[in-house]
Structure 1
Amino acid sequence: MDRYERINALHRILKSARYPVTVPRLQEELGCSRATVYRDLAFLRDALMAPVVGDGEAGFRYESGDAGRFELPGLWLNSEELHALLAAQQLLARTGGGVLSSALAPLHQRIEGLLAEHAGGKRWPVERVRVIPHRTRRTDEHAFRTAASAVLERKRLAFEYRARSTDEKTRRIVSPQRITHYRDNWYLDAWDHEREALRSFSVDRIGNARVLEEEALDIGDDQLDQHLSSSYGIFSGEPKGWATIVFSPKASRWVADEHWHSMQQGRWLPDGRYELKVPYGTSRELLMDVLHYGSDAEIIEPKSLREQARSLLSLALSQYDRD
């Protein structure tokens, strides 16, 4: 039973109870731990404003007089839950008439039903909430299905890969570890057997993919997280160091609220600028994000990264010096 179902069940129990309901009984009926019962009661009382009264000794109930009047609000999903639900619904709608359409129809109906439950039986105008893809790249569906199958079946995968940076085509044999959706595009995290290292491959650059008979080599979650999440962006790897970026007062109002990395460090400077520090392994993606802010961002350290940014800006400026 997930949290949404538990909250609904807890509401029904308390609404119909004539006497306080003990925590052990709630544990049994909800199928959860004592700590979860207390968390759900607190969420029901503090976030949904339910008239919950009582304590752990005597039990809990709805305050007399309010039990019959209180109903769960129409929508109590948080922003992440709402995004996930509507993103799933809109992604399903975009599958068109493919193989997945009929297979995923029950899930589509379940999402619509879930939204209707939040609305008290009415239809939510979901078209008024938009999830807009950003810079989505065209993906070969065969490559995606083959890569995803290899991940789930735990089989090795052979494919041709055309690197975006050099346009060079190479042949790879990998042990797929994870399929990752990042910034509206799909990536394959895998162990490259020839290079004997973890790599991330953009699925839209994979061609002629086929699943092999050999079992995939499994890399532990700790090692995967350390390698793929320890430094900035999808092209992470082991961090080379920390980048220090300073943003203008205008840009700082945005950057101070942004999540760039789980280990980022940020502080306001006396003159209203904002200093952000992030670990990085490959500079490519970090530079793209910093240069996105134009003159409102300056890389302070390390010197090598600052020089890379200077070179990129000089090349960009040279495009406008032509007659």
Structure 2
Amino acid sequence: MAQAARLRDIVAILETRKHPVPREVLLNELGVSYATFKRDLEVLRDQFQAPIRWLPGEARRERGYVLEDKGWSSGKLGLPRAWFTSSEIYALLMIDTLASHIAPGLLTEHLQPLITRITLALSAADDTPEDIRSRVQILASAARRRDAAHFENVAQATVRRNRLEILYFTKSRNERSTRVVSPQRLIHYKENWYLVAWCHRAEGTRLFALDSIEDAKILKEPAFEADKAVIDTMVGKDFGIYSGGERKWAKLRFSALQARWVEAEVWHPEQKASHLDDGSLVLEVPFSDQRELLLDILKFGPEVEVLEPPELRKEVQSRLRRALSQYE
């Protein structure tokens, strides 16, 4: 019997008994040795914080184990009586896999008990966790990874509300600068991490890519609290990670061939889409910074045309001409 099944059985037995359950009864019903039972009990107490108590009793009467809270297992990740459906088990597998990829160092100590419970939960599926994992693969696309120590310092300062001194490499200008910032929010976007912070040198809110932070020191000074409404406007309001300026609308016409894929995509929650008679698709998305939008448009090559605004269309034309000139 797998350990996960034994853990469920131990809790089920203790939940249904009104009186303390003697050790011998548990060993007989579980069909395990005392050493195995002892290990399972330690897992329940240490990893699941199960309120299981040993009562010594008097003259060997009322002696045994009790579950002090009979409703304890209700809603617990690892041990409800009915446990999980097969679809929930596979959803937990995805959480387990994603948690191991999402970030180096972030809340590792706090997440580990959760990962342990998920691993035990997976044992309830018809397939073993190892079989399931061997058939599910997550490929990182254009992911950038930085030193875990820098990430952890940034994460701790953000949560604990401390200022940071960072050494930042601005790729567009090929420059390094030391700044003191007050972290406001960590953002995970397209497999990469960004820090929204108040820059004390610029006296304004700025967006920093964590893969460009080459050093980060936590300072004792408390972080400055920026206006939350400003941060909400700065990030996520329009298309892409960069936003905060004047909102404009891009109107893009995709070929009938490409429309079959684009019509199923969500570029922005407020996007508008309409089909033309020739099968092409017109997609409208709001943007305030064209940098990321340009990259997404260019990757479609001849399968997309920028209809509006004129300045975006002109910039795409310019970049395509420069690209073509390299092959002439």
Paired residue for 2:264, among 257, 262, 266?
Answer: 257
Tell me the distance in 1 between the aligned counterparts of 2:318 and 2:93.
Answer: 42
Letter in 2 for 1:302: P
Q: Secondary structure at the match of 1:156?
A: strand
Q: Specify whether residues 217 and 72 from structure 1 end up closer, same or farther in structure 2 by C-alpha distance, changes over 3 A only.
A: closer
Deviation at 1:159, TM superposition (A): 1.2
Deviation at 1:252, TM superposition (A): 0.9
Q: Specify whether residues 241 and 83 from structure 1 end up closer, same or farther in structure 2 by C-alpha distance, changes over 3 A only.
A: farther
**In 2, are the aligned partners of 1:155 and 1:212 still within 8 Å (CA)?**
yes
Establish whether residue 193 from structure 1 lines up as the match of residue 200 from structure 2: yes
The C-alpha deviation readout for 1:62-112, integer Å capped at 9, x for no partner, is: xxxxxxxx9964224687x76444311x428x96xx998887654432221
Instruction: Show the counterpart of 2:155.
Output: 148
Instruction: Show the counterpart of 2:138.
Output: 131
Paired residue for 2:121, among 105, 114, 117?
Answer: 114
Instruction: Show the counterpart of 2:101.
Output: 91
Instruction: Show the counterpart of 1:234.
Output: 241
TM norm structure 2: 0.68
Instruction: Show the counterpart of 2:172.
Output: 165
Deviation at 1:197, TM superposition (A): 2.6
Letter in 2 for 1:260: W
Instruction: Show the counterpart of 1:279.
Output: 286
Identity %: 36
Tell me the distance in 2 between the aligned counterparts of 1:142 and 1:301.
Answer: 44
Paired residue for 1:305, among 308, 312, 318?
Answer: 312
Deviation at 1:121, TM superposition (A): 8.2
Tell me the distance in 1 between the aligned counterparts of 2:171 and 2:189.
Answer: 17
Aligned residues between the structures: 253
Structure 1 residue runs of 4+, over 4 Å off? 98-105
Tell me the distance in 2 between the aligned counterparts of 1:315 and 1:140.
Answer: 36
Deviation at 1:232, TM superposition (A): 1.3
Please provide the CA RMSD for this pair.
3.3
Tell me the distance in 2 between the aligned counterparts of 1:156 and 1:71.
Answer: 44
Paired residue for 2:327, among 317, 320, 323?
Answer: 320
TM norm structure 1: 0.69
Deviation at 1:136, TM superposition (A): 1.4
Q: Secondary structure at the match of 1:125?
A: helix
Give ranges in structure 2 of 5+ residues lacking alignment: 1-11, 17-70, 75-81
The 5 Å alignment of 1:65-76 reads 73-76=85-88
Deviation at 1:274, TM superposition (A): 1.0
Instruction: Show the counterpart of 1:219.
Output: 226
Instruction: Show the counterpart of 1:270.
Output: 277
Q: Secondary structure at the match of 1:229?
A: coil
Letter in 1 for 2:249: W
Tell me the distance in 1 between the aligned counterparts of 2:226 and 2:244.
Answer: 15
Instruction: Show the counterpart of 2:184.
Output: 177
Tell me the distance in 1 between the aligned counterparts of 2:304 and 2:314.
Answer: 14
Give ranges in structure 1 of 5+ residues lacking alignment: 1-11, 17-28, 33-69
**In 2, are the aligned partners of 1:231 and 1:238 still within 8 Å (CA)?**
no
Tell me the distance in 2 between the aligned counterparts of 1:303 and 1:82.
Answer: 47
**In 1, are the aligned partners of 2:243 and 2:288 still within 8 Å (CA)?**
yes
Letter in 1 for 2:152: R
Deviation at 1:206, TM superposition (A): 0.9
- Name the stretch that deviates more: 238-247 or 179-188: 238-247
